[in-house]
Structure formats: structure tokens, C-alpha cells
Amino acid sequence: MTMESILQAADRLFQNRYIISIKKAFTITLPVIILGSIASLINNMPIDIVQAGLSTPVGQVIRAVNGAIWLGSTAIMAILIAWTLGYYLGNAYKLNGTLSALTSVSAYLTICVTTSDGGISLSRLGSSGLFGAILIAILVTELYHVFSNLKINISEDTAEEVQQMFAALFPVMLSVFCIALTNGIILMTSGKGIDEWIYTALSFLFSMANGGGLVGTLLLVFGIHIFWFFGIHGGNVIDSIMVSAFGENLIHNANLYALNHDAFDKQLDIISKGFLDTFIFMGGAGTSLCIIITVLIIARSQYMRSIAKMGGIFALFNMNEIVLFGFPVILNPILLIPFLLTPLTITFVSWSTMSFGLVARVVTEVHWAMPPLISGYLATGGHLSGSILQVINIIAGILIYLPFIRLMDRRVVQKEALKDDNTALLKNTLNTVIEKIHNSTGEVNEEISNFSIVLESIVGDLNDLSGQMQQQMQLMHTCDEYMRTIDTSVGNTDNSIKIVLQNMEKTSGLSMEGAQNMQQTMQKMEETFSSTQRTNELTSQLNLRCGQIEEILKSIKNISMQTTILSLNASVEAARAGIHRKGFSVVASSIKDLVATTAKSVSDIEGLLQGMIADTSDMIERSEVSLRQVETGRQQVIDTNRLFGEIVQNIHNIQA
């Protein structure tokens, strides 16, 4: 099995809805968490001049503001995660995300009830309750999904918000009730609620670290980084457990060092929270400072280098969220092995060097945000061996990360090249479509112009025909008057025969003239009939052109769908890259705007085309009616011409 196939299998594994939702939840709350971390850093900055400034009246106000910020951010981290995880997991199930988030928070608060007074345990609202918040958010959303079919349907005329409220009434009530009932039963039978049992289980899992044992410490470090890899703030989840495991070790070291000032004393504990902060978490979880240095040394991807430069400033103060979520390291199968192996390796190296007395042990508490090298020097009581050990650990971490960063860089560079190729292909495709639209529009305009000319010709012919028909009517009227005169003359006397003959001659002349006019009318009718047939043919051609344009529009819609897929691919790459991958986000946004513009243009053209098709169909119907009317008129003219011929023949017979 090749490395590529392993990575593809890992990619599919990490597309699990729970893992993706957890990652999104921690990513979206990251700004609030960073704000709380900065506020805490300022209040606890291990610099005398800063602490002196915070002791002034103005500084006390700043300290109070920072404390309030911390209480409104980091101190309620479990509530924030319960909300955001419920929201994203609800969306994954096509549920109402807001209602799912509300249900998650409500359900989590029901398990935070203490055994003493029935109140809420505020300590469980922060990092110590984070794991419980994740578990409850997943469970209650699953229950919400199961109960989502139990809806109360009301009239569609009711406001949409009211409809959503009634639809979610039973699912929300039943979901929260199930969690609260389960927690109540466990609380009554064991004296501990769900949240306390979760904390107890985690404490037992990492209990081997108690007393500073190497195996337990390695297990603790492994657990922290497993949580981090899946997007969960491992330090916050296990922070309370670390304090419980070896919280007294650093106090013991400080007291003993104050007596003998010997940082190499074998009686000093090696493992402490200061040991992890100083020698393991350099740059943050996963020894992220090693990731940044490795990327800056070998990476060719401009995106990776920009993230490394941006995150490097924060990593100097051991804040690595930009690195973890920017590359990303979170849920990245390529970096899973070095992300776990590096801190485990340098934990063993640091423990071994201190055990053999090569490096001074941690005897002074140093703030976790103190930059590397300085922190190593201060934590060991001013011994350079602490800073040297940090340098050795950084070099070891770089060597471990090196092949994996190179592999990741190669894949990112390939994706960047593919993105450029897709953008060029999309541009060429759209240009081709636009050119086809222009050509088709020109052909349609030409057909419409020809059609207009033919219509004008038909109108002129019909006007001429109308005038000639009026002349024929006048001639027929005159002929009728002469025939009446003839009839009167014949009835009077034989002496009137001469007058009758004269009138018959006039009638014969008029009949001949009428016959000639009828011949001309027949000729005009034939021309009109031909023009009408031509109009019908042009109208059919125009309808055919409209059909061709409609086919082009279907092609445009298919291209729009392909463009949407490209946009989704760019969006997936942006999501996988995290919130700081601006390159993909800009491309995704540009493609989405282009798709929206193309879709609107297609919709406008389709509307115009439908109107043209309707008008053309109406014209075809009217042309067919006109054709039938012209044919009827043509037949009537033929009959009239035949009658005129019979009249002339009868007159000749009478004269003879």
C-alpha cells in the first residue's frame, strides 16, 4: 500500500460528520478564545514593569477589563463549544441549526447541576467541562434528529417563525428531557452526574502521570495532542487533570531550590506543568515552532510560507492556533505522525537529560507565554543548559517534521497549479459561450429583419388587394344598374331594342373591363398567396432558431453547473485550509460571483427567448389563418372571373 493510498483512506476517514463539526466548532470560536488568552497573558505577564503598571489606578482598570474579557470568553468555553457544535452538527443533519444549538446548550446545563444545592457548577462552564460539552452536544443532536419527525403541523398562513417553533417543540423537549432524566438517575444512584463521571474517567485514564512518572507523562502528552489533532483544545480539556496529576511538583521544587540553590538536585521532580510548558510545548502544541521553521526552510508553497510567517509571531509566545488551523494541522493525515511523534520524542529526550544530570531541572514557575530560550534559562534557575536543551529539542523536531512537510508542500503546490489551470479553463469556456451567444443573437436579429421586410410587403399587397376589391364592387354595382335598365327597356316596347342594344354594348364593355380587372386581382392574389407562404416559412425558420438558442442555453446551464462544482471544490479546499487560507477563499468567492452572474444572464436570456417563442407561435397561427383567408379570397376571385366570362358570353349571344 502506497503512502498516497494511505493518505486518501485517511482523508475519507476524517470526512466524518462528527469530526468535521467539532473542527468547525473550535475554528469558529477561535477568535473569542484568542481574545481571552491575550487578556489572560496581559494580566499574568511575567515582566516586572508590566505588573507594576497594572498596579496603578489605570492599570487596575485594565486588569479588571481583562478579567471580564476572560470570564466572557475562556471561562465559558464549554458553553461556546456546546452551542457551535450543536449548530454545525444540526446543519449536517439538515436540521434548524439555531434550534439544535439552543438544545445542546440547554442539555449541557442540565448535567452541570451540583449534588449539594442543585445549582450550576460554574467550573464546568470552562475548559474543565469541554469534553462533557462535546459529548452532550453530539448525544442531544442525535436525539433531536431521531425525534425530528414528531412535528405539530399548523396552517401555512401562520408566520414562518411560529411554524418552526411548533415543528421543533416535541423534538427539543424530548431531547433535553432524555439527557436530564439520564443525568438525574445517574446522580441519584451514584452521587455523581454525567459531567463528573466524564471528568473522573479522564482523571483515571491519566492517573499514571501522578508523581511525575515518564510513562504517565508520555500518555498525558499523547492525549493532549490526540485531542488537538481532532480540533479539540487538548490543553484546556486536560488542564485540570494536569494540575491534579503533578500540581504540587513545581511547588516542591521551588521550596527545595530555595534551600540549597541546586537545580541539579536528584530530589527535585523532573515532570511538572512548567516542564511541559518550557520544553515540550515550544510554540504551542506539537512543538509548533518546529513546523514554522521547517516550512520557512524547505516549503515552496506561497500559502504555507505566508501562514508560517503570520503564525510565527504568535508562536514565539506559544500561541499556535493560526498554525494548527491555517495549514491546517488539524485533521491533516500527512502531519498526524510528526504531530504526535515530535512532542513524545522531546519529552523522552528532556526527561532523560535531566535524569542523567546533564540539564538543570525546572525550579521556577515561568508563564506559559514566555518565548523559548528565555523560558528555558529562567525555568532552570538561570542555567544555560535549559536553553541548550530547548535548541536540541527544536532541531530534533525539525528533523522529524522535515519529510512530512516536504510531502505536504508538494501536494499543496500541485493543488495551487491545478487551481490556476481550472481558472484558465473556466475563463476560456465562458468566453466560448459568450461568443456563441453573440453569434446566435446576430442570426436571430437577421431573421427578424427579414421577417419584418416580408410583413411590410404583405401589408402593401393586402392594401392593393383591398383597393382593387372596392373597384370590383363598384363595377358590379354599375353592371347591376345597366342590367335593370335593360330589363326595363325590353319590357316596354320593341322600339326600345335599339336602346337595349346600346346598353348591352356598354354592359359588354364594362364586363370586359371587369374581367380585365379580375385578371389583375387574381394576379395580386397569387402574389399575396406566395408572400404569405414565404412568411409562414420564415416564421418556421425563426422558431427553429429559437430552439437552437434554447439548446445553447442548456449548454450554458451545464457549464454553470460545472462552474458550481469548481466553486465547491475551491470552497472545500478553503475549508480544509482553514479560515486563514485567503487564496482559495478568494477564488471560491470569485467563482461563486461568476456563477451567480452567469445564472442571472441565462435566466434573462431564457425569459426573452420564451417570449420570442410565444410570439413566434402566435405569428405562425396568425399566418396560417391569413393563408387560409387568402386562399378563400383567391377562390372567390376565380369564381367571380368565371361569372364575368359567362355574362360577356350571354351578352354576345343576345347581340347575335
pLDDT of residue 454: 58
Residue 120 bridge partners (DSSP): 113
State how far the Cα of 319 lies from the Cα of 295, in Å rounded to an integer.
17
State how far the Cα of 328 lies from the Cα of 30, in Å rounded to an integer.
14
> Final residue of a domain: which of 190, 205, 220?
205
Provide the number of structural domains found in the chain. Answer: 2
Residue 628 lies in a domain: yes
Quickly list DSSP for 38-76: HHHHHHT---HHHHHHHTSHHHHHHHHHHHHHHHTTGGG
Examine residue 328 and say whether the peptide bond preceding it is cis (omega within 30 degrees of 0): yes
639: cell is 369564381
Residue 11 lies in a domain: no
Nearest to 502 by CA among 488, 486, 518: 486
pLDDT of residue 253: 86
pLDDT of residue 231: 66
> Final residue of a domain: which of 188, 205, 222?
205
Quickly list DSSP for 209-268: GTTS-HHHHHHHHHHHHHHHHTT--HHHHHHHHHHHHHTTHHHHHHHHHHHH--TT-TTS
Give backbone dihedrals phi and psi of 120, rounded to 5 degrees, phi first.
-90, 135
pLDDT of residue 321: 76
Residue 253 lies in a domain: no
> Final residue of a domain: which of 205, 238, 257?
205
Quickly list DSSP for 156-225: TTS-HHHHHHHHHHHHHHHHHHHHHHHHHHHHHHHS--HHHHHHHHHHHHTGGGTTS-HHHHHHHHHHHH
CATH of the domain at 505: 1.10.287.950
pLDDT beneath 50, residues of the chain: 490, 493, 579-581
Count of other CB atoms within 10 angstroms of residue 348 = 14
pLDDT of residue 360: 93
Residue 367 lies in a domain: no
Range of the domain at 590: 422-655
Residue 221 lies in a domain: no
pLDDT of residue 549: 73
Residue 176 lies in a domain: yes
State how far the Cα of 16 lies from the Cα of 336, in Å rounded to an integer.
17
Q: For residue 382, what is the DSSP state? A: S
Burial, 614: exposed, middle or buried (Cβ in 10 Å; 0-12, 13-18, 19+)?
Answer: exposed
Residue 577 lies in a domain: yes
State how far the Cα of 345 lies from the Cα of 432, in Å rounded to an integer.
57
Residue 81 lies in a domain: yes
pLDDT of residue 124: 74
Provide CB contacts within 8 A for 78, sequence distance 6+. 108, 124, 125, 126, 127, 128, 129, 130, 132, 133
Q: Could you tell me the pTM of the whole model? A: 0.55
pLDDT of residue 581: 47
